A and B are shown apart, each in its own frame.
With several copies, the nearest count.
Chain A
Amino acid sequence: MTEMTLIEGLRQAMDEELERDERVFIVGQDVGPRGGVFRATQGLYEKYGEDRVVDSPLAELSIIGIGIGTALYGMRPICEIQFADFIYPAFNQIVSEAARMCYRSGGEWIAPMVIRVPYGGGIGGGLYHSQSIEAFFAHVPGLKVVVPSTPYDAKGLLKSAVRDPNPVIFLEPKKGYRLIRGEVPEDEEVLVPIGPGRISREGTDLTLFAYGMMHHYAMEAAERVAQEGIDVEVVDLRTLKPVDRETVLASVAKTGKALIVHEDNLTGGYGAEIAAILAEEAFADLDAPVRRLAGPDVPAMPFSHPLQDWFMLDADKIADAIRELAAY
């Protein structure tokens, strides 16, 4: 076991997959000599050369569209979108093309590819370097949407995503790149399956659903309220699409209460789907209203620090929501 950061887990995953399979390559802005603006691909250009780590033009739709083309030919592209906020120019290629390729061709053509996307706020990035985008893509059949919250999962899920035969939107909580540290075995291959959620803390009083950076804060909040006698079960959803309904429902069947946390705007956010699943299928189990704690419904996270703090969730805000729900 070695301790490493989230971004180190990601970098190792790419390194190992590039090594393992010559069909794998990386394409994106500044991924080459620069090693990515967050340094996720650092050293890979030097190791694998410019044919395997390709600096794209500043044109997101082409990163995805080109990626799809190479995938149709049998390659396994890892496409990097520099910030989640810049994925919208490629929305058409992702939603109309990558997601529908398998179905529309009756399975004759597939587009296995990973779309790596640093997302989320709290880093002084203002409206356009802080966004969360999972709700858009978790709505689209044909896509898988994955969000790791630990270095182990970051490595293991990214390696699985590279080997997955479908387009995978791989969301990386960028605030946690260097902040989140954890143990990752060195001597064995780390592969985490896409699909299953993970009960990261067992508890009995209520279930807290989270992912990415919010999972990190959720664990902090759960520890804090534990001292007050509130026993929170925390579920790290990890795969948002397809979601692990069994784990979601089983946990709420046990605790009777559900709190869903995400940074993205509340209305129509990913939490709505979890709440809806519970409203449909956990009716008899619920002892309290479902509670969503999410980013406010303003267009995006403001820059100025006090304003950003107002938008951004943290362990304090989550702990408050836990206390309120537990008291119901």
Chain B
Amino acid sequence: MEAQEDLQVDLKPETLLEMYWLMVLSRRLDERTWVLHRQGKIAFHISSIGHEAAQVGAAMALRRGQDWVVPYYRDLAMMLALGFTPKEFMLGVMGKKGEPNSGARQMPSHWSIRRLNIVSHSSVVATQAPHASGIALAIKMRGDDAVVLTSIGEGSTAQGEWYEAVNWAAIHRLPVVFMVENNLYAISVRQERQMAVEQVADKAAGLGLPGVTVDGLDAPVVHRAITEAVSRARSGGGPTIVETMVHRMTPHSSDDDDRSYRTREELEALKAQDPLHLQRDKLMDMGVLSQDAEREVQERAKREVEEAVDFATRAPYPEVSEASYPVYAEDRIDD
């Protein structure tokens, strides 16, 4: 991991506060969704709790809406940081009409937001990585100056799909950043069973591109690493692997029960290093966040989340007819 000097100084207080706000918003939304699940009101949730700092730090290193993002399911905080709204998220969670990711066709947390250049992905892990390299190839072909950020879990880097995608980007020096959110687990399977290297970033050496590992619990640290990778990409320097070490503080998803494969002690130790608390404490130490401001942030988040839940609860389900299209591009309504 990179030496972590005091990086907070690089960023303006407003930026630090914005980061913190997004982390809080994501966390409250995420927790509320777990509650809905426990109440039997929704069928499924997959959580970004413990990954927020990395995701917000990364998203804020992009030109939002101009750069391209090819995310994976665990990226709720990243999506919010890019401009996706809690209401939109809740529509998806509840499978309601007009849910912008897929018109309620896909499971929740399968992102796709055209207006933000956030590309649709499937559940099949690692399939998104070649798309990211392809978008980057097109950007290079067209001479545009956009950059692509794609994210993935550490386990999924065992897929040949990821290898081939990174290989293309390295050969053609494409403007893409391969962000890895390493939480040491792929459902129940630990990193040692996924790879024989210490860090995912070590794979970079075998593919011919730079790779770094950074503390993913610290948003400004991630922000700096991604900013560097993005500016290398934008200036023709080619792709980078940026591995962020994060904590999966929940079971894999609402379908999982992690008691069979990790101890409660291990989990408690992770929770003791909650990125949200770390960030809050740092900002307070720096004098950037006051007690009042903190209270306000929390209240605002709570309010926005409740509004989203209400909004989505009242929203109608899709018409049944929507299920039948668009199979082909010519079936699109606005065609």
Taking Cβ atoms with an 8 Å cutoff, the residues of A that contact B are 25, 29-30, 32-35, 37, 51, 55-59, 61-62, 64-75, 85-86, 88-89, 92-93, 96-97, 100-110, 112, 124-129, 141-142, 144, 165-166, 296-299, 302-307, 309-311
Contact B189 A29 (CB under 8 A): yes
Partner of B159, one of A59, A106, A110, A125: A59
Chain B positions 208 through 220: 1 when the CB is less than 8 Å from some CB of chain A, otherwise 0: 0000000000000
Given A62-B168, A142-B327 in contact, is the A126-B124 Cβ separation under 8 Å? no
Any chain A CB within 8 A of the CB of B95?
yes
B5 within 8 A of A: no
Whether B188 lies near A126 (C-beta < 8 A) is: no
Complex interface: chain B residues within 8 A of A108 (CB): 100, 112, 114, 120
Could you tell me if B96 and A57 are in contact, using CB atoms closer than 8 angstroms? Answer: no
Q: A96-B127, A305-B95 are in contact. Are A65 and B188 (CB under 8 A)?
A: no
Q: A92-B124, A102-B326, A105-B102 in contact; A307/B318 too (CB < 8 A)? A: yes
Q: Which of A69, A74, A88 contacts B131 (CB 8 A)?
A: A69
Indicate if the CB atoms of B164 and A57 lie closer than 8 Å. yes
**Cα–Cα distance between A32 and B187 once the two chains are bound (Å):** 12
> Which A residues lie within 8 Å of B187 (CB)?
29-30, 34, 37
A55: which of B95, B108, B110, B188 is its contact (CB, 8 Å)? B188
B104 in the interface, Cβ–Cβ < 8 Å? yes
CA A58 to CA B331, docked complex, whole Å: 35
Chain B contacts with A in 11-48, Cβ cutoff 8 A: 43-44
Q: Is B105 located at the chain interface by the 8 A CB criterion?
A: yes
Does B136 count as interface, using CB distance less than 8 angstroms? yes
Nearest first, the 3 A-B pairs at minimum CB distance are A69-B134, A65-B130, A304-B95
- CB pair B329–A104 under 8 Å, yes or no, is no
Question: Contact flags (1/0) for B304-327 with A, using CB distance below 8 Å?
Answer: 000000000000011110111111
Given A66-B130, A92-B124, output 12 extra A-B contacts at Cβ < 8 Å.
Answer: A32-B188, A58-B155, A61-B161, A68-B130, A107-B331, A127-B123, A128-B106, A166-B329, A303-B108, A304-B317, A309-B320, A310-B320
Query: With A and B bound together, what is the CA distance between A141 and B135 in angstroms?
Result: 24
In the complex, whether B56 has a CB less than 8 A from a CB of chain A is: no
A37 to B112: give the CA distance in the assembly, Å: 27
A-side contacts of B324, CB under 8 Å: 296, 298, 310
- The interface stretch among B137-145, B223-231, B290-298 is B137-145
Q: Does B107 contact A (CB under 8 A)?
A: yes
CB distance from B177 to the nearest CB of A (A): 14
Q: Which residues on A sit within 8 Å (CB–CB) of B122?
A: 96-97, 100, 104, 127-128
B329 with A112: CB separation less than 8 A: yes
Tell me, in angstroms, the Cα distance from A102 to B120 when the chains sit together: 9
Q: How far is the CB of B159 from chain A (nearest CB, A)?
A: 5
B278 at the interface (CB under 8 A from A): no
Interface residue from B68, B107, B112, B124 paired with A105 (Cβ < 8 Å): B112
Measured between beta carbons, the chain A residues less than 8 angstroms from B1 are none
Which of B255, B319, B326 is the most central at the interface, judged by chain A CB atoms within 10 Å of its CB? B326
Distance from B120 Cβ to chain A, minimum over Cβ atoms (Å): 4
Output the nearest chain A residue to B98 by Cβ-Cβ distance.
A106
Q: Map CB proximity to A onto B161-192 as digits: 1 under 8 Å, 0 otherwise.
A: 10011011001000000000000001111000
Q: Check if B264 is an interface residue, CB within 8 A of chain A.
A: no
Contact (Cβ within 8 A) A70 B159 = no
Interface band, chain B: 35 or more
Interchain CB contact under 8 A, A69 and B137: yes
Query: What's the least CB distance linking A312 to chain B, in Å?
Result: 10
Query: Which B residues touch A296, using CB under 8 A?
Result: 323-324
Q: Nearest chain A CB to B69's CB is how many angstroms away?
A: 12
Binding site for A on B (CB under 8 A): 43-44, 68, 95-96, 99-108, 110, 112, 114, 119-120, 122-125, 127, 129-139, 141-142, 155-156, 158-161, 164-165, 167-168, 171, 186-189, 193-195, 255-256, 260-261, 317-320, 322-335
Most A CB contacts (10 A, CB to CB) among B44, B100, B335 go to B44
Interface centre among A62, A96, A102, A128, by most B CB within 10 Å?
Answer: A62
A93 to B134, CA, bound (A): 13
Nearest CB of B to A115, in Å: 14
Pick 18 A–B contacts, CB within 8 A, sort by A: A58-B155, A58-B158, A62-B130, A62-B158, A64-B130, A69-B130, A69-B133, A73-B138, A73-B142, A74-B138, A92-B127, A97-B131, A102-B332, A104-B112, A127-B123, A166-B329, A298-B325, A304-B105
- Contacting A59 at CB < 8 Å: which of B164, B317, B318? B164
The answer to whether B107 and A69 touch across the interface, beta carbons within 8 angstroms, is: no
Complex alpha-carbon distance, A124 and B186, angstroms: 22
Considering the chains assembled together, what is the distance between the CA atoms of A303 and B95 in angstroms? 7
CB of B318 within 8 A of CB of A55, answer: no
- Complex Cα distance, B261 from A109, in Å, reads 38
Asked whether A107 lies within 8 Å of B322 as measured between CB atoms, the reply is: no
A128's nearest neighbour on chain B, judged by CB, is B123
Question: Are the C-beta atoms of A89 and B107 separated by less than 8 Å?
Answer: no
CA distance A297 to B122 in the complex (A): 19
In the complex, which residue of chain A has the Cβ closest to the Cβ of B193?
A55
Q: Identify the closest chain A residue to B172 (Cβ).
A: A54
Q: Are B123 and A126 in contact (CB under 8 A)?
A: yes
| Bound CA span A71–B131, Å | 9
Q: Which B residues touch A25, using CB under 8 A?
A: 141
Residues of B within 8 A of A166 (CB): 328-330
A311 surroundings in chain B (CB, below 8 A): 323
Chain B residues near A57 (CB-CB < 8 A): 155, 158, 164, 167-168, 171, 189, 193-195
Q: Find B137's partner among A34, A58, A70 (CB 8 Å cutoff).
A: A70
Nearest CB in chain A: distance from B203 CB, A = 13
Given contacts A59-B159, A103-B105, A109-B112, contact A141 B189 (CB under 8 A): no
